Amino acid sequence: MSAAYLDALDAGRGVLVGGEWRRGGAGLFDVEDPATREVVAQVADGDRADATAAVEAADAAFASWRHVAPRERSEILRRAFDLMHRDVDELAALICAENGKSLTDAKGEVVYAAEFFRWFAEEAVRPGGDYGSSPAGGTRTVVTHRPVGVAALITPWNFPAAMATRKIAPALAAGCTVVLKPAAETPLTALAVARLLVEAGVPEGVVNVVPSTDAAGVAETWLADRRVRKVSFTGSTRVGSILLKQAADRIVNASMELGGNAPFVVTEDADLDAAVAGAMIAKFRGGGQACTAANRFFVHADVAEEFVARFGAAVEALTVGPSSTGAEIGPLISGKAVAELDRVVAEAVEAGARVAHRAEVPETKGYFYAPTVLADVQPGSAILEHELFGPVAPVVTWRDDAELLAMVNDTEMGLAAYVFAGELQRAMKLGEAIDAGMVGVNRGLVSDPSAPFGGLKQSGLGREGAREGLAEFQETQYLSIAW
């Protein structure tokens, strides 16, 4: 990334409150490149006082922002879309530097992230509403939607741009103002997006950002503040549950995008080339560090050997290394993540799984983990319960649909699923029978700004993107009129 772009971020003053970039009350923290373990930048470390100041600014700005004409809000979002495209290379380089993903994945993320600004720029001007009468006929009912209020947004490190824009765009389109806490691993991209929003014309106080190493302190402060009316969180189920408990105290409107444990199903009549291509995307985008990542492979016994051979060859051919080398797979986010994945894989091997295929990993200080295909994984194994969040693909075989569906749905998670089958109707029937909010049918990617992203069971509450994404930041109100 160009040093000038990073300098212009002025991350040491990365707390954005009421249009002013300031130092953090807790000093500075380091952001590390997981591929090299070098410090990329020092970022302002916001504390509880910064968190409160951000809410104050957001609350003050809400009074006018909610009344700004939808067209005007829309055009700001549309400009933000254009600016992200103008800066696509710089933003991708920032993502590479702090997250480690490959340059191709990083560019893909920037384009995907920008799309939320365009989508919600378009939705902002289609407010909708209703007009009706009561059954007895004596009234008229006018239904409108209003912004829920100041929204607290908390985002993870795996998609540093997209997880921020997927929340900011609908919030602003709805007329909400926001306070955002990006993950401490990857605050730089969020700061860059916030700068672009300011450049796009977002008024002071509408978007506030508090990078912080005290995630719990900032979140607690926000959820305890009467002025905060909404929390939108993407991250682990564990933290989502903590936030829901805090939200319960004040009955705060909550949207949760939590963990996944996506099954990837291959039937006996599936096009295996398509299945392998889909598996490579579903498993290895972002190095497997996605909540939608295929986590459990269920391949029909008749084609399992062939599938594992072809998939394994593709996995062995993957290049692993820092994004600067053009590698396809970057590092995991931390040494802790590598140790945890090592432990889970070792346990699976102990239980009878076989390391069938493995890519090569460079000898570096980075947090690399070799892309791995595990064959002969037994149904019910611990590894199938675990959200791997890394480039490991455990393969289980099956024979009949009922047995398959029992295994697939035997999890508390229900975010994404993938089905590859020769006959579309069979694929759709299987898809409908899987307890997941999103099912990729003969494709390995479900993320799409125009589709409602979200999960069932412990994978979350609410939806992002699509029409539904806007509704998450709105309250319904009706006026009942004597007639």
Tell me the closest approach of the beta carbon of residue 215 to ligand ADP, in angstroms: 3
Whether residue 341 contacts residue 390, with contact meaning beta carbons closer than 8 Å, is answered with yes
Binding residues for ligand ADP, per CB under 6 A?
Answer: 154-157, 181, 183-184, 215-216, 219, 235-236, 239, 242-243
Helices (H), 201-251: 215-224, 237-250
Task: Between 91 and 332, name the residue whose CB sits nearer to ligand ADP.
Answer: 332
Query: Of 206, 173, 261, nearest to 63 (Cα)?
Result: 206
Whether residue 197 contacts residue 168, with contact meaning beta carbons closer than 8 Å, is answered with yes
Query: Is 270 strand, coil or helix?
Result: coil
Structure token digits, residue 175: 């007329």
Tell me the closest approach of the beta carbon of residue 221 to ligand ADP, in angstroms: 10
Catalytic residue among 56, 115, 185, 257: 257
Tell me the closest approach of the beta carbon of residue 424 to ligand ADP, in angstroms: 35
| Count of CB atoms situated within 10 Å of the CB of 315 | 26
Running DSSP on this structure, what letter comes out for residue 375? E
Task: Between 236 and 325, name the residue whose CB sits nearer to ligand ADP.
Answer: 236
Tell me the closest approach of the beta carbon of residue 332 to ligand ADP, in angstroms: 11
Running DSSP on this structure, what letter comes out for residue 474? E
Task: Between 181 and 386, name the residue whose CB sits nearer to ligand ADP.
Answer: 181
Determine the longest span between alpha carbons in the chain, in angstroms: 78
Catalytic residue among 32, 56, 291, 464: 291
Tell me the closest approach of the beta carbon of residue 384 to ligand ADP, in angstroms: 19
Tell me the closest approach of the beta carbon of residue 236 to ligand ADP, in angstroms: 3
- The gap from C-alpha 160 to its chain's centroid, in whole angstroms, comes to 8
Task: Between 105 and 376, name the residue whose CB sits nearer to ligand ADP.
Answer: 105
| Count of CB atoms situated within 10 Å of the CB of 176 | 28
257 tagged catalytic: yes
Angle at which helix 48-65 crosses helix 215-224, to 10 degrees, equals 40
Task: Between 204 and 385, name the residue whose CB sits nearer to ligand ADP.
Answer: 385
Running DSSP on this structure, what letter comes out for residue 27? B
Buried b (16+ CB within 10 A) or exposed e, 22-45: bebbbebbebbbbbbeeebbebbb
CA–CA separation, 254 and 473 (whole Å): 10
Q: Label residue 71 exposed, middle or buried (CB < 10 Å: 0-12, 13-18, 19+).
A: exposed
291 tagged catalytic: yes
Task: Between 177 and 232, name the residue whose CB sits nearer to ligand ADP.
Answer: 232
Structure token digits, residue 464: 């992002």
Residue nearest to ligand ADP (CB): 235
Tell me the closest approach of the beta carbon of residue 14 to ligand ADP, in angstroms: 14
Task: Between 181 and 296, name the residue whose CB sits nearer to ligand ADP.
Answer: 181
Helices (H), 135-186: 162-174
Task: Between 53 and 239, name the residue whose CB sits nearer to ligand ADP.
Answer: 239
Residues facing residue 179 across a β-bridge: 152, 208
Tell me the closest approach of the beta carbon of residue 95 to ligand ADP, in angstroms: 15
Whether residue 127 contacts residue 205, with contact meaning beta carbons closer than 8 Å, is answered with no
* Cα→Cα distances 325→154, 158, 322, 329, 469, Å: 32, 20, 6, 10, 37
Catalytic center residues: 257, 291
